[in-house]
Structure 1
Amino acid sequence: MSEMITIGKVTKPHNRKGEVKCLILSDFPERFLELDRVFLENEEDIKRMHVENVRFHKDYAIVKFAEVNSMNEAEKLRGHFIKIPAHEAVELPEGHFFIHDLIGIDVYTDTGEYLGQLEDINTTGSNDIYIVRKGKKEILLPAIHDVVKEIDLESKKMIVHIIEGLID
């Protein structure tokens, strides 16, 4: 199977008709309205499901899958991640990247010093924080234009400018 990206997670059944409540793990919630089929994955298996209907309630998507018609069937989907093939991902504006594309890239300063690999990204209200690790050393870098100078996904490399006080 091709590379998959996660766009949501089934949290619980929503009603007796088989709908499920899903946590949206995408910056583009409206994408749920365009889905025809998705893949549901947990530790044990992956299932292809056909999306019959989607509506939104607060920060959640309420999804009805064609294959699920009761609360008992919906309960079995609890905890499954909702995935789509990566080639179906929303096209991002220039200078924006998917988290899964950034994780694992090498991070260097603009003076050529290797800082480590981008291990994780914390999303905050104002800007993301890139967590870079080299051995036991962890560096937290704000994802702002003054710091992040270049991202080259092809060569899996990020160039950053270390501003005063950023690293001890």
Structure 2
Amino acid sequence: MGDYRIALNTGLPDNDLFFGKVLRPHGLEGLLRVQSFSQSAASLLNAGRVLFKLKTGENHYLQVISARPHKNIFLVKLEGLTDINQAEAFRGAEIHIRKDALVREEGEYFWFELLGLRVFTTDDEFLGVVSQIIPSGNTEIYVVKKGDRETLLPATHEVVNHIDLENGKMMISVLEGLLNPDEV
């Protein structure tokens, strides 16, 4: 299903997405340690000028010069940041990118696209709406809500048959024990 974890953030322009957060500077030459909702640096590099919302309330649009994975984060170099003192001002900053800058592989979906999808079984039974996505190791878990009932669905190809973003639908196969664990 793709594991790009781009988050929604209300109060932003429709084309803006909360991409991640600056944790702290890295080294002496202005690199930033960035925690991202994406597992790929391609979207950040493709974004052009990226919005950094500083904790002081200031907004800065800067070009990303480089971004590379480092353990569970990215090390990011921005235009104009050349030392640790300049980089320190970005500690805790939110990073926002344009939706059209997102890079995806075929068959991958972003979280903001999946939230709110109506979920149906292959027998056309309405199960509810995707209300939350929980990261869980190798796959995500979709929380599908209908009234007071929540159903947890693994985001695997065995369960999720088809995603139709245009019509706001997800079709799933009901594997034994998936909807009624007591039946197993």
1:57 corresponds to 2:76: no
Q: Does residue 81 of structure 2 align to residue 81 of structure 1?
A: no
2:111 maps to 1:127: no
TM-score when normalising by structure 1: 0.80
Shift of the 63–96 alpha-carbon distance from structure 1 to 2, 3 Å rule, reads closer
**Is structure 2 residue 119 aligned with structure 1 residue 107?**
yes
Aligned to 2:50: 38
Q: Is 1:116 matched with 2:128?
A: yes
Q: Is the 8 A contact 1:24 1:59 kept in 2?
A: no
Aligned twin of 1:162: 174
Letter in structure 2 aligned against 1:119: S
Residue 24 of structure 1, aligned match among 30, 36, 43: 36
Q: Match for 1:89: what amino acid? A: L
Aligned to 1:128, the other structure's residue is in SS state strand
SS in 2 for 1:40: strand
Counterpart contact for 2:44–2:97, Cα < 8 Å: no
DSSP-derived class of the 1:144 partner: coil
Give the letter for the 2:126 counterpart.
Answer: Y
**Residue deviations 1:3-51 (CA, integer Å, cap 9, x gap):** 1334432101223443211123313235555564312236845421122
Q: Displacement of 1:98 after TM fit?
A: 1.6
Please give the TM-score of this superposition, normalised by the length of structure 2: 0.74
Alpha carbons of structure 1 residues 88 and 112: separation in structure 2 relative to 1, 3 Å: same
Question: CA separation of 1:66/1:96 partners in 2, compared to 1, >3 Å: closer, same or farther?
Answer: closer
Out of 5, 10, 27, the residue aligned to residue 15 of structure 1 is: 27
> Root-mean-square deviation (CA), in Å?
2.6
User: Structure 1: which 5+ residue stretches go unaligned?
Assistant: none
The alpha-carbon distance between structure 1 residues 37 and 129, as it changes in their structure 2 partners (threshold 3 A), is same
In structure 1, distance between residues paired with 2:153 and 2:42? 30
8 Å CA contact 2:144–2:151 kept in 1: the answer is yes
| Aligned position for 2:9 | none
- Segments of structure 2 that go 5 or more residues without pairing to the other structure are 1-12
The answer to whether the 8 A contact 1:150-1:159 is kept is yes
Distance 1:32 1:96, change over 3 A: closer
In structure 2, the residue matched to 1:90 is 103
Equivalent-residue separation in structure 1 for 2:161 and 2:68 (angstroms): 39
